[in-house]
Amino acid sequence: MITCLLLSAGHSERFGSPKALAPFRGKTVIEHIQQMLLETSCDEIIVVLGAHGHQIWPLIFNHNRIRFVYNKNYNFGQLSSVQEGWRYATEPSEGVMCLPVDCPLVQASSIEEIITCFKKDQPDILVPCYQDKKGHPPILHSRLKKDVLDLPMDRGLNSIFTDHPPKTININDDGLIKSFNTKEELESLNK
């Protein structure tokens, strides 16, 4: 089983409003990404909500593969959302993929390549790359669950990469390395 955590708990301070609710290709970002993920073989999609949860929640699809959790510790950053989402992943989850909501250009075919490589090679961590630049979403093996849950919240998820150097996979999808923090950046992605 593969779980995808759709991380949507942040304040979106630089953006000025919830990134998840930003318009993107005729929908909101959160709707666009959920639709893309439903085209993949992810067994479950857990949307992690926080700062603007009451505004985003109504746009979470009513689908048997999608559910949401509320991260009360969202002020501590993205690691806290990964930890909260992973606590609620269905066992036994083979791997947990972490996709921030500000990465709407990742293609379903790329998610499939990541999952296929992960299931075949079973690395601790698999990070997708575009032209050798690391991107999103990484996938972490379930054997790292305790290590991730035990990380202090003032550290980033990347700190686990020191003890568990990730395997990388090059994929021809520049959406893996494109994200947005401002309205201008989103506008350039929307073109």
Q: What is the overall mean pLDDT for the chain?
A: 95
State how far the Cα of 10 lies from the Cα of 100, in Å rounded to an integer. Answer: 10
Contact 23, 114 (CB under 8 A): no
pLDDT at 49 over 90: yes
pLDDT at 191 over 80: no
**pTM, two decimal places:** 0.96
Q: Which pLDDT band holds residue 65 (cuts at 50, 70, 90)? A: very high
Complete domains list, the chain, with CATH: 2-190 (3.90.550.10)
Q: What is the pLDDT of residue 189?
A: 87
**Do 56 and 18 contact (CB within 8 A), yes or no?**
yes
What's the whole-number mean pLDDT along residues 103-123?
Answer: 97
